[in-house]
Amino acid sequence: MDRKSSEVLWSEFVDPPRHSRCFGARVGPVQFTDVADMARVKINGGDAGVLWTAPYRVSTSALRSGTNRIEVSVTSPWRNPLIAEARSSTGTLYPPMTGVFTDDAEILPAGLLGPMSLVYNHRP
């Protein structure tokens, strides 16, 4: 187990279907199933927002025709390395941090928990 509260970068290239406009649909938000603990989203290098509460959605206004890059930088919960330190001390964390959690505390999920999707909105 990694003992640090860490940040992980995930990226995906997407190419929204060109035909979607022909059928009266337009791309709505980028949506994530669940995020633990928080994430910053960039679309084509521009900041699209921070996700930390449901619904986990950001605007797709930065999408353009052709291939687009979506980057997500996820930060894991700080409590996880504190619990790991309580279970097996490495000496890298110092009091009072080492006494915050006991060794039987629950490690929380971390990362993108489920798929990312582009939501299409249909015009009436």
Q: Quote the domain boundaries for residue 73.
A: 7-77+109-122
* Residue 104 pLDDT exceeds 50: yes
Whether 35 maps to a domain, the answer reads: yes
pLDDT at residue 26, rounded to an integer: 67
Whether 57 maps to a domain, the answer reads: yes
* Residue 75 pLDDT exceeds 50: yes
Whether 59 maps to a domain, the answer reads: yes
Distance in angstroms (rounded) separating the CA atoms of residues 107 and 95 = 20
Whether 82 maps to a domain, the answer reads: no
pLDDT at residue 11, rounded to an integer: 93
- Asked if 112 contacts 35 with a C-beta cutoff of 8 angstroms, the reply is yes
CATH number of the domain at 21, please.
2.60.120.260
pLDDT at residue 22, rounded to an integer: 47
Query: Looking at the 3D structure of the chain, how many domains does it have?
Result: 1
- Strand order, beta sheet including 68-75: 7-14, 68-75, 38-43, 46-51
pTM exceeds 0.95, yes or no: no
